[in-house]
Amino acid sequence: MRIDPYMRRGLWKCQHALAPYLFVGPFGLVFVIFLLYPLVSSLVLSLYDTASPRAMRFVGAGNYRYLLTDWLFWGAVANTAYYTVVFLIVEITLALGLAVLRNSRRVWGRNFLRFAFFSTHLMGHVFVAVLFALLLSPRGGLMNRVLSAITGSEVEINWLGRPELAMPAILIAAWWVSTGYAMIYLLAALQSVEVELYEAAEVDGAGRWSQFVHVTLPGIRPVLVFLVVVGVIGGFQLFELPYVLFGGPGPNGRAVTVVMYLYMVGFEMGNLGYASAVGWMLVVLIAGVSAVQLRLSGALRREE
Amino acid sequence: MAERIQKTEFRIGGIQKSESRREGAGVVALNVLLYALAIVALTPLVWMVCAAFKRGEDLFAYAFLPWDHLGNLSLDNFRLLLSREPFARWLINSLFLSTASTVLSVLLSSLGGFGLAKYAFAGRRAVMLLMLGTMMLPGVVLLPGSYMLMYRLGWIDTYWAIIVPGGVSAFGMFLFMAAMRQVPDELLSAGRIDGCSELRLWWEIALPIVRPMTGAFTLLSFLASWNAFLWPQVILQNEAKYNLPIALANMVALPEYRTEYGTLMAGTLIAIAPVVILFFALQKDFVAGLSSGAVKG
């Protein structure tokens, strides 16, 4: 079949004009159906009391009102906040120390060290939790064996059974996974600080510590802020590690995080409506913390 | 560049060249410290590998390997895993799910990223703002709504529910958009003059240029679905459909695997092996990929 040349040119122009929509279209379609729609639907659901996908009752702001005085929810928030703060302080301190060491002078076997510190980050949180559930087991677990060897007496700490040790157990696993990863970022940041700045500081008679505080820290500030932001978002979404490590809420519910609470309410008890309210409350909490963070990092910048 | 890094390292150490006598001892101390820390980091992994090959009685008798009778090491744990549990099935499920959602997500993100980067069209800004907005939200807020949608579609306990939503990655779309901005417009015009269709411009010009980024994003995407737990746990009910994270999480909850934990460690070893192999094969890209998006200091 011969196509009329005018029509042919018309078709060609047409495919150019339509191209962007055809390119963005498939993504857009999936985005609207599987992301935007569930998002709106979660918001609507949060106004209902549900016992199953078919049994729903409109309660308006009732879920949110109940949430404000739900001490199980606020307990989960407290656990999550405690985890996030302690996790970040220790992670960043350790990672920065490691990065400074790794960055200084002649270090042998860089590839091996990178593998050693980074390899832990390759494991998914579920696999890490499985591993640590066994490492921390009271009898035969490596943790107690090492402690026994150090103290010289038989140590049988029930890491996963004592309420006050629930968070430390989660934190140990979390630090093991992510410190090396944070170190990689900080190492890259350290290497990008201008050498001239150190030279200038030295000319001005600044010592090693003073160089670190006045040249290094301001230089790597963007990466520090990035790590804090990522850490807070990740901390507030903590789920797999405690859920698999303890097989649920842990001793006295000390391992319950906000996301675990959402999961238990929505998918173990079947109240999707209340779970949605928990989800949106989490959005509000993260937004609040982010706003404070922005304020603080802005304030720090002005101070300099 | 290399020279600059060398110099920086030297400076941060803060030691003058004239102090070279002290430097020798310092270097040794530094390396000893770093290697000690590296050993601490690797110990849990080594312990896991040892446990995977130990037999029942040796698991509790020896922390690592039974040095006096190494002949007792065996593949029994792996055999048990395959005979007592449908572990091969779970492994194949995981490979299938991760591959399918990675392919879909790379395809949709790269097409969309090209469209957003290289064409001006009505609604472009709106699309970008909408995606940026959703990127800030914690993913779990979608969970109840998504479950409801899957219930209505009849997709509960199907792989559709995992693969198709896995294709939406606003993050991937932005990565591709940023990378494809670097594709010179002259190349695209030249292609058009030569009679390339718009789709061929994407496939034959843009995609090859952004190949390093594609590699990094593919890895990230595969890793994310390989480790995915919460959403599959909500959706999958039939044991035969489980992926490895769900399967192992269920196994660790069983008392029998707390005592015969060699089997469980063998399973975990298999579960992380593909990722470790990928790491060794693509070490440089891997680190670059995982730290892509890092802000330059």
A183-222 residue pLDDT tens? 988 998 898 888 888 888 888 888 888 888 888 888 898 8
Closest chain A C-alpha to B182 CA, distance in angstroms: 17
Q: Which one is predicted more confidently, B185 or B9?
A: B185
Cα–Cα distance, A38 to B231 (Å, whole number): 14
Task: Check residue B3 and give its pLDDT.
Answer: 45
Confidence of residue A303 (pLDDT cuts 50, 70, 90): low
Closest chain A C-alpha to B276 CA, distance in angstroms: 7
State the best of A126, A135, A268, A278 to mutate against chain B, taking most chain B CBs within 10 Å: A126
Question: Which residue's structure tokens are 């859920």?
Answer: A243
Cα–Cα distance, A102 to A104 (Å, whole number): 6
Inter-chain CB proximity B34 and A113 less than 8 Å: yes
Interface residue A119 vs chain B (CB under 8 A) = yes
Cα–Cα distance, B159 to B153 (Å, whole number): 13
| Pair B214, B292: CB distance under 8 Å | no
Which residues, including other chains, have CB under 8 Å from residue A101's CB and lie 6 or more apart? Answer: A107, B30, B33, B34
Q: Which of B116, B124, B141 sits opposite A283 (nearest CB)?
A: B141
Positive or negative CA dihedral for A35, A39, A44, A48? positive
Nearest chain A Cα to B172, which residue?
Answer: A27
pLDDT at B7 over 50: no
Confidence of residue B17 (pLDDT cuts 50, 70, 90): very low
Inter-chain CB proximity A134 and B283 less than 8 Å: no
| Pair A274, A265: CB distance under 8 Å | yes
Task: Check residue A255 and give its pLDDT.
Answer: 94
| Range in A282-286, B100-104, B119-123 with the lowest mean pLDDT | B119-123
Confidence of residue A290 (pLDDT cuts 50, 70, 90): confident
Inter-chain CB proximity B27 and A125 less than 8 Å: no
Q: Which of B44, B114, B145 sits opposite A38 (nearest CB)?
A: B145
Closest chain A C-alpha to B70 CA, distance in angstroms: 19
Q: Name the burial class of residue B83, with classes exposed (0-12), middle (13-18) and buried (19+) by CB atoms within 10 angstroms of its CB.
A: exposed
Q: Which one is predicted more confidently, B250 or B61?
A: B250
B-chain CB neighbours of A126 within 8 Å are: 227, 229, 245, 248-249
Cα–Cα distance, B42 to A117 (Å, whole number): 8
DSSP B65: -
Closest chain B C-alpha to A279 CA, distance in angstroms: 4
State the best of A131, A197, A268 to mutate against chain B, taking most chain B CBs within 10 Å: A131
List the alpha helices (DSSP H) in chain A: 5-31, 37-45, 62-68, 71-103, 110-118, 125-135, 142-151, 163-191, 195-203, 208-211, 217-236, 240-246, 258-263, 272-303
Cα–Cα distance, A84 to A80 (Å, whole number): 6
Task: Check residue B11 and give its pLDDT.
Answer: 46
Which residues, including other chains, have CB under 8 Å from residue A179's CB and lie 6 or more apart? Answer: A91, A94, A95, A98, A117, B41
Q: What is the pLDDT of residues B109-147, one digit of tens each?
A: 999 999 999 888 888 888 888 888 888 888 899 999 999
Cα–Cα distance, B66 to A82 (Å, whole number): 41
In chain B, what percentage of residues exceed pLDDT 90?
A: 41
- E strand or H helix at B5, and its extent? helix B2-13
| Pair A175, A91: CB distance under 8 Å | yes
Classify each residue of B212-249 as buried b or exposed e, where b means 16 or more C-beta atoms within 10 Å of its C-beta: ebbbbbbbbbbbbbbbbbbbbbbbbeeeebbbbbbbbb
> Looking at this protein, which amino acid is placed at residue A209?
W
pLDDT at A259 over 60: yes
Cα–Cα distance, B250 to B90 (Å, whole number): 12
Which residues, including other chains, have CB under 8 Å from residue B72's CB and lie 6 or more apart? Answer: B54, B55, B58, B66
pLDDT at B59 over 80: no
Q: Which of A30, A43, A119 sits opposite B45 (nearest CB)?
A: A119
Closest chain A C-alpha to B176 CA, distance in angstroms: 12
Cα–Cα distance, B242 to B239 (Å, whole number): 5
pLDDT at B293 over 50: no
